[in-house]
Structure 1
Amino acid sequence: MTTNAVWNAEPEVLADLLGELFALMRSCEAAIGAVAVGIEQRGVMELFGYRSVARFLEHLADLPRQAAEVLVKRARQLHPGVGLDGTPIPALAPEVGVVAREGRLSNPMIDTIVSVLRDTPLEHRDRVERDLLGFAADAGHKQVAALGARILAHLVPDGQEPVETEPGRPDRELSLRRKRSGVWELHGRFDDETGARASAVLDALAQRRATDEGPDLRSPMERYGDAFSDAMDLAANSPELPMQAGERAHVMVAISLEDLKTGIGTALLGDTGTISAAEARLHACDCMVIPAVLGSHSEPLDVGRLRRLVPPGIRRALYLRDRGCAFPGCHRPPRHCQGHHIRHWSEGGPTELGNLVLMCAHHHRLLHRSGWDVRIAADGLPEFLPPVWLDRRRKPRRNNLHEPLPFAA
């Protein structure tokens, strides 16, 4: 319907049109769910090389992962499935699935009915499903939720029997996120024991320090910020710190030789941060400096056929070139990645930069078992060719999420 038609149509006509479009949309989503469950039963790994249907839908339809997982989880409740041992699994709400494919139920309504049926005793489930569907024809999901609560109060007056479980894991959460300004934000919550230990460590490191220049005028928050930085230094220098990608945990500072000599310019800190060249010179006094000669194609590094595992020198060159997982759309930083031989080492592929690409574990496995291919383009950077079912032309794709080196040619 055009804009003029919308302006000229009667309100009833517009409402009817929207109702029809919503019904069509809901019917299509229910059908997608049915197909997704069918793919899951046949084996998404065997069909498309993905470890889950949600991951497959994420690439096929450009769905956010969480939305794809919710779609598949909802569909499993409406359609029968098959267990890992081949045992049939009946649908929790088969009648809801039928009505959903007719486009008559919203997702909140489906979730509400499924939630009630999950707590309904098995012998009453069919009747409760029919009652809720009958009521849903003329009511919203909130009203159906209220009716379901009354039904459960009658059928299960004492509530669900508590399940004996092991003591729960301590409540620990932490997020560390870099903002565009270059400032990192830290948010977290911890159980009492962890919080007490963290407080004791930071208290010890955050004490005021009088110097020859006078008293310590830092605010309490500044002192605790400096204490956290000191705690990270202590952890990084601990001999018990686990190895990462075959090396001790470290932060890589990338800078051109000229900027390092003059102290003018910028250096790349870690995966996305930047520091001044002068600061990089300070760090160079107290760290291992590893020169890397990188031309436009980064071609000089080569260890031939002597080694299958990627040595530290070439790994660092991969870090500098790919800046993280090279798979399109992946945000994983270099420290979460591993080197992949484009031409497999077992097939004669050399362990050199032109035959390697940096990939996270998930996309590394995906590349080995699906229709995706990778190659090094003429400019020396990796590009990926999607499988035919995703793009019949197989137009090459690149990851544009990682920022290039600030001084790259």
Structure 2
Amino acid sequence: MSETFLPELPQELWRAGKLELAHGVQQSLQVIRIATACLGRFLAEIESRGAKDLYGHGSTASWLAEIAGLSRGEAGAVVKRAIALNPTRALDGTEVPPLAPATAAVAAQGLVGDERIDQILEILKNLPAEISAEERAGAEQILANLAPAAGPRQLAKAEANLQGLLNPDGNEPKDPEPKEPRREITLERRKDGFWKLTGLLDDETGARTAAALEAHAQPRPVDEFGQADL
């Protein structure tokens, strides 16, 4: 990694020309990005050794959140990015390769920032699962080569092109899960005094209701005085 130093600010910055200002911004961005890549390598090593054994924290993200004054979510995003770009080690000591080594290479040179890195990682996640490791590595290399000079739209267009090459038939449409019907009953009184009953019942409730209505519709026995038995 080539050494990059912070630009020396003119004593009277307001006197700086437009080219000097632009160069200062570009150089400062590169320094920030190189430092961020270096931070990621430290975090990946801490993740490999275990934050619990090193610092008594349940995770690398919780430890980083405490020392950096970040929320748990903010720290988690930093650690997740660090693991994706740097090799780590499993519990048995075997090396776990990074998800995006080509992107890590341009990040180490300060040529790409967190936003484009996250976009590349999201694109890689969306690639078809059945493609080969060589195809996935080739796709990542294309994205990494574009990233230093590309914006979000250019990378989104590159994703569309990659999907067209690697998944020309598209994803198979998934049949939606049929929704379970809900039981409902509506009772409405009409103007002529009759009541209108409509509803949707499950099999058991419907059978019981039908039996009850059938029983209610049967002629009622009449006693000796001619009164129906209620």
Fold conserved (TM > 0.5)?
Answer: yes
Q: How many residues align?
A: 166
Of 46, 54, 59, the residue aligned with 2:53 is 46
Where do 1:166-245 residues align within 5 Å?
none
- Determine which of 108, 112, 135 is the counterpart of 2:115: 108
Tell me which amino acid in the other structure corresponds to 2:141: R
In structure 2, C-alpha distance between the alignment counterparts of 1:62 and 1:27, rounded to whole Å: 21
Q: Which residue in the other structure is 1:29 paired with?
A: 36
Structure with the greater alpha carbon radius of gyration: 2
Superposition deviation, residue 159 in structure 1: 4.0
d(CA) in 1 for partners of 2:111 and 2:91?
A: 33
What's the CA shift string for 1:103-160, capped at 9, x where partnerless? 1101111112122222152231222222222222322132112112221122112445
Question: Which of these residues, 133, 139, 142, is aligned with residue 128 of structure 1?
Answer: 139
- Residue by residue, what CA displacement relative to the aligned partner does 1:233-290 show, whole Å, maximum 9, x if unpaired? xxxxxxxxxxxxxxxxxxxxxxxxxxxxxxxxxxxxxxxxxxxxxxxxxxxxxxxxxx
List aligned pairs for 1:255-294, cutoff 5 A: none
Give unpaired runs (5+ residues) of structure 2. Answer: 1-7, 183-230
Correspondent of 1:10 among 17, 21, 39: 17
**Inter-CA distance 104–51: structure 2 relative to 1 (3 Å threshold):** same
Which of the two has greater strand per residue? 1
Indicate conservation of the 8 Å contact 1:113/1:145, yes or no.
Answer: no
Partner secondary structure for residue 149 of structure 2: coil
- The alignment partner of 2:110 has SS state of coil
SS at match of 2:70: coil
- Give CA-to-partner distance per residue, 1:72-102, whole Å, 9 cap, x none: 1111111122345655432110111121121
Deviation string, structure 1 residues 187-209 (Cα, Å, up to 9, x no partner): xxxxxx9xxxxxxxxxxxxxxxx
Does residue 147 of structure 1 match 2:158?
yes
72 and 161 in structure 1: CA distance in 2 versus 1, 3 angstrom threshold: farther
Aligned mate of 1:58, from 65, 72, 80? 65
CA distance in 2, matches of 1:160, 1:73: 27
Are the aligned partners of 1:25 and 1:103 in contact in 2 as well (CA < 8 Å)? yes
Pairing 1:137–2:148 present: yes
Structure 1 unaligned spans of 5+: 168-192, 194-409
2:90 and 2:47 mapped to 1: Cα distance?
A: 11
Structure scoring higher RCO (CA < 8 A, sep ≥ 6) equals: 2
Higher helix share: 2
- Percent same amino acid among aligned pairs? 35
SS of the aligned residue for 2:28 comes to: helix
Tell whether the 8 Å contact from 1:116 to 1:152 is kept in structure 2 after alignment.
Answer: no
SS at match of 1:137: helix
Q: In structure 1, what is the Cα distance between the partners aligned to 2:82 and 2:169?
A: 30
